[in-house]
Amino acid sequence: MNQIMKRLEIIKSSIAIEDEELITSQVIKLKEFDDEEDIKEIINLLENANFLEVLNKIEHYLASKSAVRVYVDKELQSLKLELKALESQLQKLTEEKNEYLNTINDFNIQYNIQVGKIIKGILELKQKIKEKKLKEKFSDLENFKNRYENGQSELKEYEKKLNDLKNKIENTDVLDDEYDRLLDELKDLKSQYKQKEKEVEQNKDKYQEYEKEIEEDIDTQEYEDIKREYEEFNKEYEDFLSKEGNELSKEEEEKLKLIYRKAARLCHPDIVQEELKEKATQFMQLLNEAYGKKDLKQVKKLYIQLENGAGFHAASDSINNKEILKSKIKELRSATESLKEELKEIKSDEVYKIATEIEDFSQYFKSLKNDLLKEKERLENDFNGAIEDVKIEKGPIFEETHRDINKEFWESEF
């Protein structure tokens, strides 16, 4: 009874200040008590916007119930009001955060539409140019590697010959003339094996040192950075293309934002009862996905579901235990402070700053597009011609060893 009377008082005040959103939220709460005929009639009048008659009806209802004395626990009432105020503050901060994120998202959408393909092309060209510069260095490295691996194979052949020869000696009579000849052959083979082993070890050192030299080479490091940048951008760009949302008119955009805000207030996970938090989180995710895709139809559908029974009761309306209320207040205060910190970070984000400082988006993207096209043209010229004249600098390991490597290979490469 006390709760009904409080909500009716709120509705009276809301009508006076013409706050339709607050009226709507209270009507949803009143529907819990529509088994009373008077309340059902008041709800019907409110839904039909018959405010003059509904005020009279509310006054009559409050007067008829005024004789009923209800004990009010002031501490409990204060805690519930404090929690409700925090719920309202959290909702407002969440709306503010969503507005900031939407500003960034809208800018990123236009950024990808206007220049995404050009930037992908620029990063791809940079990667190819670095690949071309590194091609000969990696060819050198591959040659070192092949010499080392071929030497290892030759060592295995020597080991096989040595084992075969040892077996043959073991099966030969020491008095046989063949025995002395086989011993001499074994001695020569062991000498060849040791020489080959030394050669393989040297080739291994050269290969590992040149590999390290290339790893530390600035061109290699720049190539890895460009490659990573290209892969990250390409993934984001492909994701954007696969999730590109609907194009809305300015009027539809405003409608989408309004309905989203109303719906978000009815299912905010941080302010609902504990047992409904998981369900509210899932509903909020669906709402955010639809909003991100600018799916006005889906956002409207979810809002209608919330209005017609799928809504979630705020914790301040259902908790009457003082200790639980205090715990919930502490939780919401912490969530509010965290949200304030998030807002500071978002506002300091470079993309957000650009998006909020640009006065003419059309001119901004036109200028950016022209600059990027010039950069792409310059890189194309580098890749197709100028890069061929670049001399590849060789490190100290190369200088010491290149004369030992197949002459024909070097002549064909330089």
- How does residue 386 score in pLDDT terms, banded at 50, 70 and 90? very low
**Stretch 391-399: mean pLDDT:** 42
How far apart are the C-alpha atoms of 189 and 162, rounded to whole Å? 7
- Nearest Cα neighbor of 137 from 218, 210, 225 is 210
pLDDT value of position 397: 40
Q: What does the alpha-carbon distance between residue 392 and residue 388 come to, in Å, rounded to a whole number? A: 10
Closest Cα to residue 207, out of 224, 411, 407, 199? 199
CA distance 132 to 148: 25
If you average pLDDT over residues 202-229, what whole number do you get?
A: 85
Res 122: pLDDT: 94
pLDDT given at position 176? 85
**Is residue 408 very low, low, confident or very high in pLDDT (cuts 50, 70, 90)?**
very low
* Cβ–Cβ < 8 Å for 110, 365: yes
pLDDT one-digit tens code per residue, 123-149: 999 988 888 877 777 788 888 899 999
Per residue in 55-101, pLDDT (tens digit) is 888 888 887 776 555 555 778 878 887 888 888 888 889 889 988 98
Average pLDDT on 109-134 reads: 89
**Of 218 and 202, the one with more pLDDT:** 202
Give the separation between CA 382 and CA 398, rounded to whole angstroms: 26
pLDDT in tens, 217-245: 777 788 888 999 999 998 988 887 876 66
245: nearest Cα among 351, 94, 110: 110
- CA–CA distances in Å: residue 61 to residues 1, 27, 45, 94: 11, 16, 14, 37
State the pLDDT at residue 349: 93
Q: How many CB atoms lie within 10 A of CB 126?
A: 21
136's tokens:
């000969």
pLDDT above 90 covers what percent of the chain? 25
The pair of three-digit structure tokens given for residue 299, joined into one six-digit string: 């956002």
Residue holding tokens 């011993």?
183
Evaluate if residue 392 carries a pLDDT over 80.
no
Q: What distances in angstroms separate CA 281 from CA 42, 264, 309, 399, one per listed residue? A: 32, 11, 17, 64
More confident residue, 243 or 257: 257
- The DSSP code for 272 is B
- Cα 232 to chain centroid, rounded: 11
